[in-house]
């Protein structure tokens, strides 16, 4: 594997790790969910969004 491909793979993994660190119900999580297409939400995400972002 060449160094450019390794760098891209590490960058992609870092982005995944950082995006997964948003705590459910936090202001940042609510903002992320608002930007995510509603058709891509899971049932749990929709429930958590209603509980933490709408009915605080």
Q: Please report the beta strands in the chain, taking only residues with DSSP state E, as ranges in sequence order.
A: none
pLDDT tens-digit readout, 16-31: 455 567 899 999 999 9
Q: Is the full-model pTM beyond 0.85?
A: no
pLDDT tens-digit readout, 33-52: 999 999 999 999 999 999 99
CA torsion angle 46 39 9 23 (round to 10): -10
State the pLDDT confidence band at 8, using cuts at 50, 70 and 90: low
What is the 8-class DSSP label of residue 52? I
Q: In the numeric block, which tokens belong to residue 43?
A: 């049932």
Beta-carbon contacts of residue 23 (< 8 Å; ≥ 6 apart): 29
For the segment 2-20, the average pLDDT, to the nearest whole number, is 64
């Amino acid at each position: 594997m060449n160094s450019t491909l390794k760098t891209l793979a590490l960058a992609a993994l870092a982005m995944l790790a950082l995006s997964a660190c948003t705590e459910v119900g936090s202001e940042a999580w609510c903002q992320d969910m608002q930007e995510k297409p509603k058709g891509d939400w899971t049932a749990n995400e929709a429930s958590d969004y209603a509980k933490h972002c709408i009915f605080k």
